[in-house]
């Protein structure tokens, strides 16, 4: 519709004085029919079947890929376990290696290890000596799919404030 300030007679929603009552009633009915038809149009956000339940995605448990078999490693109470029953790989949360440097096997650490094979840990503290340091911990696996950790220090030494 051209926006010239005029509307067509069909869009006028009142009685037109020079028409008969009958004609005005017919026009009113026609306008009502038109409005009803418009509201029957499908709404873009309608039409969903709400009776269908949406299951919570189990992928939220997945922390990464098993370095032994490539299956998914999932977050469980005591460890990050490989989902493959034939595989023994696990990153235990109660972890002596990490405890010795006053660190924990958190989900973030596990994710980093599974993604990069290494994780940088700042502010480690040796339980034995009390020394604090930053280091990298590298993850490898032995032939029995057991996780092995090794501390690695950056080659260059940076003076930290």
Which residue bears the tokens 């109470």? 77
Query: Which stretch in 24-32, 58-66, 121-129, 152-160 sits in contact with Zn ion by CB under 5 A?
Result: 58-66
Is 87 among the residues that bind Zn ion (CB under 5 A)? yes
Closest CA to 123 of 98, 148, 96, 101: 101
Which run of H or of E encompasses 122? strand 118-125
**How far is 94 from 58, CA to CA, in rounded Å?**
24
Is 114 among the residues that bind Zn ion (CB under 5 A)? no
- Degrees, nearest 5: CA angle 148-149-155: 140
| Between 66 and 101, CB nearer to Zn ion | 66
Is 68 among the residues that bind Zn ion (CB under 5 A)? yes
| Between 69 and 151, CB nearer to Zn ion | 69
| Between 66 and 109, CB nearer to Zn ion | 66
The residues that touch Zn ion, with contacts defined as CB under 5 A, are: 66, 68-69, 71, 82, 84, 87, 89
């Amino acid at each position: 519709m051209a926006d010239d300030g005029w509307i067509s007679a069909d869009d006028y929603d009142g009685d037109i004085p020079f028409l008969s009552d009958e004609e005005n009633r017919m026009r009113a009915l026609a306008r009502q029919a038109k409005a009803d038809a418009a509201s029957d149009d499908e709404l873009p956000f309608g039409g969903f079947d709400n009776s269908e339940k949406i299951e919570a995605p189990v992928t939220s448990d997945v922390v990464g890929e098993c370095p032994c078999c490539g299956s998914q490693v999932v977050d469980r109470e005591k460890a990050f376990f490989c989902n493959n029953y034939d595989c023994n790989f696990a990153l235990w949360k109660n972890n002596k290696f990490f405890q010795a440097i006053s660190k924990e096997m958190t989900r973030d650490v596990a994710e980093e290890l599974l993604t990069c094979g290494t994780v940088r840990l700042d502010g480690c503290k040796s339980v034995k000596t009390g020394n604090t340091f930053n280091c990298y911990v590298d993850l490898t696996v032995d032939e029995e799919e057991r996780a092995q950790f090794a501390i690695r220090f950056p080659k260059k030494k940076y003076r930290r404030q």
